């Protein structure tokens, strides 16, 4: 049997094994959103013989800023997350599974793939600093590679409060969203007026938890009609136009050096309106997408991508930093084209293919962490997984903004804090030998 025939047969088996009740669009949008983020990161970063320019395209091409309204698709992931978390928590409530057991399961799914990334980069930073690279240079490399972790930290925060947010949705409906948007706007007002980014940090939770509610609305059929989807997109578009056109917010939805205020760092209320625009448009395509995803090969690709989606997302910038650093160290081989020139743009697909191949290798190596052992332990008290989530978010928040390295060298506290938190507070399973010993006694 040829490879094509085997793949077709496997695709047919996966399609046949998929329950009719499964909402395939959820899986597709999750995979599509992460893929767009990956390609966006690989594109906006400019690399030349002098090194890596983290936001080279946005910093040097203001015309690209409106395009971020299309490529900043993190809101779509939170929309999908709201739908999935709503199903998961309601199922847990029906089965009598408590909050502690539910949250530990979610942390295992999200936290385990993170561990090898942090440990590998801790070793890499120690080796590079020991080899004589200056701390500031190693800091930039680690900070670039760990950019995906800011999103994971924000999403974990939302997961922690998701059951409470579902209660708010079930009790107050659309008012729970309106209240969150108003609250986020108030936080922005204080942050912008006082020129304090720190004052805007609560919006990492407020904005994303508020937009996450739209996933509950989708789940409950409150966005089922075309008119409601169009209204949602219109509210988002008008809100963005007012905030950007008349307010202090920049056009770019991704941080650019030329902007005094960032829409994403910290998260601003503009991201909620961007999400409304994107959600309305995406949901308008729900019916044709549902039909398209009935095709076995399309669905098979979607399932395979989602099975390793965390690894794909977490490691894609490590692949880019590694390849870019290697080419720079070799004298800038392949980097002679001036960024943003016509020829540079024509070579972007080749750049993506190289990075895709390297990332695929990393997925083969580290993807196994997305398939953890079954966890049959009794549910823990709620405070334990909450404490673990706090440890993870604290470590990731620091590293996303400053990397693992400071002026005095490598700081192992922040990369180890998430790992230790997951272990100490019982999210990680004990070694098999210890588990058997405990059961025997």
pLDDT at position 441 is: 31
pLDDT at position 339 is: 80
pLDDT at position 436 is: 44
Mean pLDDT calculated for residue range 380-402: 91
Q: What is the pTM of this model?
A: 0.92
Within 13 Å of residue 270, how many CA atoms lie on the same side as its CB? 29
pLDDT at position 437 is: 39
pLDDT reading at 231 higher than 90: yes
Token pair in block for residue 186 = 């108030």
pLDDT in tens, 45-96: 888 787 788 777 888 888 889 999 988 999 999 999 999 999 999 999 999 9
Contacts of 267 (CB under 8 A, 6+ apart): 154, 200, 203, 204, 207, 208
* CA dist., res. 325 & res. 141, Å (int): 9
Return the domain boundaries, the chain: 21-440
Identify which of 127, 145, 129 has the alpha carbon closest to the alpha carbon of residue 137: 129
């Amino acid at each position: 049997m040829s490879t094509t025939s085997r793949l077709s047969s496997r695709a047919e088996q996966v399609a046949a094994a998929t329950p009719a009740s499964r909402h395939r669009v959820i899986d597709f949008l999750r995979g599509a959103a992460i893929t767009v983020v990956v390609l966006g990161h690989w594109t906006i970063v400019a690399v030349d013989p002098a090194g890596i320019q983290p936001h080279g395209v946005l910093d040097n091409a203001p015309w690209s800023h409106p395009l971020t309204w299309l490529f900043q698709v993190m809101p779509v992931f939170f929309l999908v997350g709201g739908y999935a978390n709503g199903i998961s928590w309601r199922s847990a409530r029906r089965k009598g599974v408590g909050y502690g057991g539910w949250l530990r399961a979610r942390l295992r799914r999200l936290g385990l793939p993170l561990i090898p990334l942090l440990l590998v980069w801790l070793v890499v930073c120690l080796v590079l600093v020991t080899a004589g690279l200056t701390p500031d240079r190693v800091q930039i490399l680690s900070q670039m590679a760990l950019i995906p972790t800011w999103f994971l930290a924000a999403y974990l925060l939302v997961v922690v409060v998701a059951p409470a947010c579902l209660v708010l949705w079930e009790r107050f409906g659309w008012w729970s969203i309106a209240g969150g948007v108003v609250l986020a706007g108030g936080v922005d007002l204080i942050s912008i007026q006082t020129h304090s980014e720190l004052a805007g940090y609560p919006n990492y939770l407020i904005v994303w938890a508020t937009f996450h509610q739209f996933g509950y609305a989708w789940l409950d059929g409150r966005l089922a009609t075309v008119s409601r989807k169009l209204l949602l997109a219109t509210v988002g578009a008008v809100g963005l136009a007012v905030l950007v056109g008349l307010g202090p917010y920049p056009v770019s939805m991704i941080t650019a050096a030329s902007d005094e205020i960032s829409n994403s760092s910290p998260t601003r209320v503009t991201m909620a309106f961007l999400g409304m625009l994107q959600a309305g448009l995406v949901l308008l395509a729900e019916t044709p997408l549902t039909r398209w995803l009935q095709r076995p090969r399309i669905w098979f690709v979607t399932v395979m991508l989602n099975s390793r989606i965390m690894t794909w997302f977490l490691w894609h910038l490590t692949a880019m930093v590694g390849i870019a650093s290697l080419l720079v160290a070799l004298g800038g081989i392949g980097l002679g084209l001036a960024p943003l020139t016509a020829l540079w743009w024509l070579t972007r697909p080749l750049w993506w293919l190289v990075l895709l191949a390297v990332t695929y290798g990393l997925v083969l190596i580290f993807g196994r962490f997305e398939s953890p052992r079954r966890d049959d332990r009794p549910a823990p008290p709620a405070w334990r997984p909450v404490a673990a989530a706090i440890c993870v978010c604290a470590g990731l928040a620091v590293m996303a903004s400053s990397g693992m390295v400071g002026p005095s060298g490598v700081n192992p506290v922040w990369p180890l804090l998430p790992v230790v938190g997951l272990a100490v507070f019982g999210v990680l399973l004990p070694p098999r030998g210890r588990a058997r010993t405990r059961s025997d006694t």
